């Protein structure tokens, strides 16, 4: 999963046909638990572009998007937020798959 490098990059990427941002941090145990499952999930949902956003590097963006718990996911299509899975709770692979399945239909 490609790492987001700048706010300008974020502003550009949200205008894609389907972009998933995963907000996480290296110190987050719940984020580390789902990492091994992400390549399979990304392959299953190849219609989306996936980007990892380090919460510590983009704290202003997280505040702007109301990301107060990680890991969290937001889907954008054509510049609009279409779906979010944002909470402080640990996410399972199944929950992420269900979330992306729902996002696919939006």
pLDDT at 88: 85
What are the backbone dihedrals phi and psi of residue 103, each rounded to the nearest 5 degrees, phi first?
-65, -35
Q: pLDDT per residue over 65-99, tens digit each?
A: 999 899 999 999 999 999 999 988 899 999 999 99
- Per-residue confidence (pLDDT) for residue 89, from 0 to 100: 87
Distant-in-sequence, close-in-space partners of 69: CB < 8 Å, separation ≥ 6? 86, 87, 88, 89
Q: Which sequence positions are flagged as catalytic?
A: 28, 31
Q: Which two tokens stand for residue 80?
A: 């609009």
Domains and CATH numbers, the chain: 2-104 (3.40.30.10)
Q: What is the pLDDT of residues 19-55, one digit of tens each?
A: 999 999 999 999 999 999 999 999 999 999 999 999 9
Q: Is the pLDDT of residue 105 over 90?
A: no
Three-class SS state of 22:
strand
* Separation between Cα atoms, residue 14 and residue 5, nearest integer Å: 14
Burial of 43 (0-12, 13-18, 19+ CB in 10 A): exposed
Residue 81 DSSP label: E
Question: What does the alpha-carbon distance between residue 20 and residue 51 come to, in Å, rounded to a whole number?
Answer: 6
């Amino acid at each position: 999963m490609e790492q987001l490098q700048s706010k300008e990059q974020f502003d550009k990427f949200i205008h894609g046909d389907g972009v998933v941002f995963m907000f996480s941090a290296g110190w987050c145990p719940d984020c580390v638990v789902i990492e091994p499952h992400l390549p399979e999930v990304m392959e299953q949902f190849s219609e989306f572009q996936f980007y990892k956003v380090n919460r510590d590097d983009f704290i202003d963006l997280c505040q702007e998007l109301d990301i107060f718990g990680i890991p969290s996911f937001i889907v954008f299509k054509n510049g609009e937020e279409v779906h979010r899975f944002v909470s402080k709770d640990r996410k399972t692979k199944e929950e992420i798959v269900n979330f992306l399945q729902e996002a696919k239909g939006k």
